[in-house]
Amino acid sequence: MEEKKPFRTIEVPGGLNVNNLGAATNILGTALRTTLEALAKRHGNQAGPWLDDMESILIREAKGTIAEGLPIEVDAASVKLGIDILQMQLDIVRHNLIAKDGD
């Protein structure tokens, strides 16, 4: 009997490329923004310390990632890109919350 893993494995037919990595980045960015918007509802749709704390945690965790087998320069550039995308999503949520507050 095959042991069931506690998580899904990912198989990419044809291997990773710019197109499917771009699509994955878009999907994950949208998922993150949706999650942050759901959290915002629990905080009265207000930007505030909770969002600042979440940003700090997410960035700290992102900085702690390491891609095995990549040259250090490539790994550092990849982490920077990931953090830039993460911060962009946080900025969008923060901007939308502040704009709603001003209405």
- 31-88 residue pLDDT tens: 999 999 999 999 999 999 999 999 999 999 999 887 778 888 988 998 899 999 999 9
Measuring CA to CA, which residue among 64, 1, 58 is closest to residue 32? 58
**Model pTM score:** 0.79
68 and 103 Cβ atoms separated by less than 8 Å: no
Give CA–CA dist 78/59, Å, rounded.
Answer: 14
Closest listed residue to residue 58, CA positions, set 78, 85, 76: 85
Q: Residues for the chain: how many in total?
A: 103
